[in-house]
Amino acid sequence: MRTRILISLALLVSVLALAGCGAGGGDTVKIAILAPLSGDVKTFGESTRDAALLAIDEWNADGGVLGKQIEVIIEDSQCQPEPAVSAANKVIDQDGVKFIIGEVCSAASIPISEIVGPKGVLQITPTSTNPTVTLNEDGSTKATVFRACFIDPFQGAVAAKFAIGNLGAKTAAVLLDQGNDYVRGLAEVFISEFEAAGGKVLVTESYTGEDTDFSAILTKVKDANPDVLYLPDYYSTVNLIAGQAQEKGITATLLGGDGWDSADLDRSVVEGGYFTNHFSAGDTRPIVQDFVSKYEAEYGAAPDALAALAYDAANILLQSMKAADSTTDVEKVAAAMETGTFPVVSGDVSYDQFHNPVKAAVILGVQGGEIVYVDTVAP
Ligand code: PHE
């Protein structure tokens, strides 16, 4: 309901702009939000959209950015490469957008990141953690691509060290979707870090995004009887695999990554498990609590990490336009982003040479059907 009101406000702004009566001299700044709003991971897109709109609405209520109202264009890019590329081309070529917030999923952000440079567009993904989102094949940095989150080499290392250091694990099994850049990347990091820290990975098995029956690979896990089972996939797939693992009587402690973060994670099948994440709504810092109460007032639920990072991505982008004194010059805005420090909800963001913020991770646990804060791990 509230979401609808926000969207209609954004639409109203665009209608006013078209009619030539937008605030501050007529024209608006267009920002696209590309996120999965249907399908298996739609809670990711809903949180992202809602929080980015909350931030943009606050800027608009405050007079906009550099006197211009912000017009939002939202597309359902489905967490998949092809729909993501179509959505990006549509907002760039048809709507004339120069600034994109999105996508959520690495597998969708990577192909978008390959087209924005040549088209003179800036992309900031709130949540895509795969390193290659901001890197060219030769290892150089994509000039106009940024993110608001840490990357998977850090996230996977945090999980492996937690398994060994805090859980006392000696052995692990890892199940992964080879075709998903995020899942594969996180699994690879976990395996190498777990073994580097003295652990042994007894089972590594792959499945595809279409699979729904995991009994063959789970039998191998059951036979190997590892201390931990790492499931670095999104919540919808984790619900299926963890449910079947429970039926099989697998007792390994389940571990995962930020992809578990959803109100639709089935807590009954991941009970006792842990996952790495970007944000905890229980963080007592004033900037966090201020955001949590505003988000709750608007949407009636606590924000998840996707919401926090989308709110941050919108603020980083708008603060960069302000610092660059331009809402149109993509190079200037990128330069301001590269050099600035942004005090946002998930931490003080400043960029390294690869356009990655250096930030702490949190570890959350599933205990008694609740998600509880366990630890914060600095880089
Ligand atoms: N990190 C995931 C990816 O790169 C997306 C994600 C972030 C999902 C945060 C949930 C929470 O694909």
User: pLDDT tens digit string along 203-233?
Assistant: 999 999 999 999 999 999 999 999 999 999 9
Q: Note whether 40 and 106 are same-domain residues.
A: yes
| Ligand 1 binding pocket mutation candidate from 129, 279, 309, 362 (most atoms within 8 A of CB) | 129
Q: Which of 46, 133, 182 to mutate to test the pocket of ligand 1 (most atoms within 8 A of CB)?
A: 182
Which residues, 6 or more positions from 301, have their beta carbon under 8 angstroms from its beta carbon?
A: 263, 295
* Nearest protein Cα to ligand 1, atom 5: 105
pLDDT for 56-91, tens place per residue? 999 999 999 999 999 999 999 999 999 999 999 999
Of 277, 301, 328, the position where a domain reaches its end is 277
Distance 214 CA to ligand 1 centre (A): 23
- Would residue 368 count as lying in a domain? no
CA distance 197 to 156: 12
210 shares its domain with 312? no
* Ligand 1 pocket, residue 28 CB under 6 Å: no
Is the full-model pTM beyond 0.85? yes
Are 115 and 262 members of one domain?
no
Q: What is the dihedral of CA 111, 112, 117, 123, to 10 degrees?
A: -140
The answer to whether residues 141 and 174 belong to one domain is no
**Quick check: CB of 88 below 6 Å from ligand 1?**
no
Residue 20: pLDDT over 80: no
Mean pLDDT of 289-313: 98
Query: Region 165-177: what's the mean pLDDT?
Result: 98
Q: Is 177 in the pocket of ligand 1 (CB under 6 A)?
A: no
- Asked if 320 and 355 sit in the same domain, the reply is yes
Residue 24: CB atoms within 10 Å: 14
Q: How far is the CA of 44 from the centre of ligand 1 (A)?
A: 8
Q: Is 186 exposed, middle or buried (0-12, 13-18, 19+ CB in 10 A)?
A: buried
Residue 295: burial class (beta carbons within 10 Å; 0-12, 13-18, 19+): buried
- Domain-embedded: residue 179: yes
Q: Is the shortest distance between the CB of 269 and ligand 1 below 6 Å? A: no
Which of 34, 42, 105 has most ligand 1 atoms within 8 Å of CB, for mutation?
A: 105
- For residue 15, the model assigns a pLDDT of 41
First to last CA, the chain: 39
Residue 46 reports pLDDT greater than 60: yes
Q: Is residue 349 part of a domain?
A: yes
For residue 335, the tally of other CB atoms under 10 A from its CB is 15
Q: Establish whether residue 291 lines the binding site of ligand 1, counting it when its CB lies within 6 angstroms of any ligand atom.
A: no
CATH number at residue 247: 3.40.50.2300
Spacing, Cα 128 to ligand 1 middle (Å): 5
Report the relative pairing of strands 99-102 and 122-125 from DSSP bridges: parallel
Same domain assignment for residues 138 and 156: no
pLDDT band at 7 (very low <50, low <70, confident <90, very high): very low
As a whole number of angstroms, the distance between CA 360 and CA 137 comes to 27
pLDDT tens per residue, range 243-278: 999 999 999 999 999 999 999 999 999 999 999 999
State the Cα–Cα distance between residues 263 and 147, nearest whole angstrom: 23
Tell me the average pLDDT across 365-375.
96
Q: What is the rounded average pLDDT of the residues 355-372? A: 96
- Ligand 1 atom nearest the C-alpha of 235 is 10
Average pLDDT, rounded, for the chain: 94
HSE, CB side, 13 Å, CA atoms: give it for residue 377. 21
Whether residue 235 is found in the same domain as residue 187 = yes
The answer to whether position 376 is within a domain reads no
Question: Is position 366 within any domain?
Answer: no
> Residue 19 pLDDT > 60, yes or no?
no
Residue with tokens 């959350």: 364
Q: Are residues 119 and 264 in the same domain?
A: no
Domain hosting 255: range is 152-277
Task: Please report, rounded to a whole number, the percentage of residues in the chain having pLDDT higher than 90.
Answer: 93
- Given ligand 1 and candidates 43, 46, 128, 346, which is best to mutate, with the most ligand atoms within 8 Å of its CB? 128
305 lines ligand 1 (CB under 6 A): yes
What pLDDT, on a 0 to 100 scale, did the predictor assign at position 1?
Answer: 39
pLDDT of residue 110: 98
pLDDT score at 363: 97
| Assigned domain for 369 exists | no
Q: Which atom of ligand 1 is nearest to the CA of 133?
A: 4
In the predicted model, what is the mean pLDDT of residues 135-157? 98
Does residue 291 share a domain with residue 243?
no
Question: Ligand 1: which of 42, 113, 127, 260 to mutate, most ligand atoms within 8 Å of CB?
Answer: 127
Tens of pLDDT, residues 82-126: 999 999 999 999 999 999 999 999 999 999 999 999 999 999 999
pLDDT above 70 as % of the chain: 93
Q: Is 125 in the pocket of ligand 1 (CB under 6 A)?
A: no
Same domain, yes or no: 139 and 12: yes
203: in domain: yes
Domain boundary at 245, 277, 309, which? 277
Q: How many structural domains compose the chain? A: 2
Q: What is residue 279's predicted lDDT score, i.e. its pLDDT?
A: 95
Q: Are residues 194 and 251 in the same domain?
A: yes
84 and 64 both lie in a single domain: yes
- Residue 365 forms part of a structural domain: no
pLDDT of 12 over the 60 cut = no
* Ligand 1 centroid, distance to 338 Cα (angstroms): 23
Domain boundary among 226, 245, 277: 277
The answer to whether residue 11 scores a pLDDT higher than 50 is no
pLDDT of 26 reads 54
